[in-house]
Amino acid sequence: MAALAADGDAAKKRPPKIEELMTGPEGLRAADYANYFSSYAYIYHQKQMLTDAKRMEAYRDAILGNAANFRDKVVLDVGAGSGILSIWAAKAGAKKVIACEFTEMANHARRLVAANGLDGVVDVRRSAVEALDLEKGSVDIIISEWMGYFLLRESMLDSVIYARDHYLKEGGALYPSHAKMYWCPVALHADRDAKLAETADTLAEWDAFEDEMMREHDVDVRVLRRPYEEETRDYCLRQAQWHELTDDVLEGEPACVAALDLNTITLAEAQGVVEAPFAFD
């Protein structure tokens, strides 16, 4: 019995294994995000993110422009991807950088770090951040590109909060440290018209399909018309879309509906936006 108790105590003290994070009450949710994150293992997807000039410039300037803050520090990069932020942190003078990446992209990051002569500083670890074997207070700075679609889509903020609570020293820094979410009405007339035309063309395809099925295969598929039309409208007109907005499409002043302080935000607060009244003129 004593041995069993000791094993139980050890299990409580050790970091959770990756497979343990994907089971239990949150298993289905975790599996959903695992499928979503799998796309990050592809260089093509990483390239898309790395060609986002505004995002890249903001992180580069924040790190290299504050080199004095990174000098001789221990840095944790949460969701390191290809390792670019870790490379910048090393170039800014960090003593050690732990690049934590959950997907197979960690293998590419390791090669990229070595190719840039920084493998003596940057330690790439393929792991969930929750499974890292780090002591509390052993990290001076946490860097992370955790923002997803509509800020919170990827739920990587959960991992940043975990890293902050378990590894960051008292008074340590987070990059970024704050984030805001805004609502704003926009006028995207050209995009609207293109979507309506796409919807009409896709719906019109059913007539030819229906005729072909009856003529060539002697199968009447008319009973599927209505659900097909509903699916088409869902796909073409009711899905969230990504746009790089310019000032000329804004139809009002942006209203802030969420302001996140990463130094203090809790996991519960990171689950979504609470009711936030707003109005536009």
Q: Out of 104, 154, 216, 251, which one is annotated catalytic?
A: 154
User: Catalytic one among 104, 130, 145, 212?
Assistant: 145
Distance of alpha carbon 106 from alpha carbon 24, whole angstroms = 26
Give the Cα separation of 45 and 113 in Å (integer). Answer: 19
154 a catalytic residue: yes
For 18, the enclosing helix (H) or strand (E) is helix 18-21
What tens-digit pLDDT sequence spans the chain (281 residues)? 444 444 455 444 555 555 555 555 555 555 555 555 566 666 766 677 777 888 899 999 999 999 999 999 999 999 999 999 999 999 999 999 999 999 889 999 999 999 999 999 999 999 999 999 999 999 999 999 998 777 887 668 999 999 999 999 999 999 999 999 888 899 999 889 999 999 999 999 999 999 999 999 999 999 999 999 999 999 989 887 777 788 899 998 888 888 999 999 999 888 887 777 777 76
pTM comes to 0.75
How far is Cα 87 from Cα 99, in angstroms, rounded to an integer? 9
pLDDT of residue 151: 84
The Cα 78–Cα 201 span in angstroms is 44
The predicted structure's pLDDT at residue 11: 47
pLDDT value at residue 2: 46
Pairing of strands 74-78, 96-101: parallel
The Cα 134–Cα 138 span in angstroms is 7
Q: Provide the 8-state DSSP code for 14.
A: S
Q: Which amino acid is at 155?
A: S
Q: What is the DSSP string of 173-242?
A: EEES-EEEEEE--B--HHHHHHHHHHHHHHHHHHHHHHHHHHHHH----GGGHHHHHHHHHHHHHSS---
